Amino acid sequence: MKKLLTLFTVSVSAIALSSCGPNVRSAHQDAAVGAALGAGLGAVIGNQSDHAGQGALLGAAAGTGLGYAVGRNKENTASGN
């Protein structure tokens, strides 16, 4: 469990820091937020079936995709496309 917690913490930190800096697109920031939220929610749900690691990975993947889609939609709406 400690190994999983360490892996989760490192992963979330890397994702969060990757969306920092100048000229970062909204879609990338939203994808990072979605990945972090999805990983946390997936770990909680997966823990109920004793598969917290798998739940975190699936949640992060789903959250990244959903977050990126939301970010792209915001960009397209802002640019009038």
Residue 17's pLDDT band, with cuts at 50, 70 and 90, is low
| Per-residue pLDDT at 74 | 86
Q: Is residue 77 part of a domain?
A: yes
Task: State the chain's mean pLDDT as an integer.
Answer: 77
Number of domains, the chain: 1
Q: Is residue 11 part of a domain?
A: no
Token pair for 29: 């920031």
Q: Is residue 16 part of a domain?
A: no
Q: Is residue 43 part of a domain?
A: yes
Kindly report the pTM of this predicted structure. 0.65
Q: Is residue 45 part of a domain?
A: yes
- Find the domain containing 44 and state its range: 25-81
Among residues 27, 6, 3, 28, which one has the least CA distance to residue 17?
A: 28
| Per-residue pLDDT at 61 | 84
Query: Is the per-residue pLDDT at 46 higher than 80?
Result: yes
Q: Is residue 42 part of a domain?
A: yes
Instruction: Summarize the confidence of residues 1-12 as an average pLDDT.
Output: 69
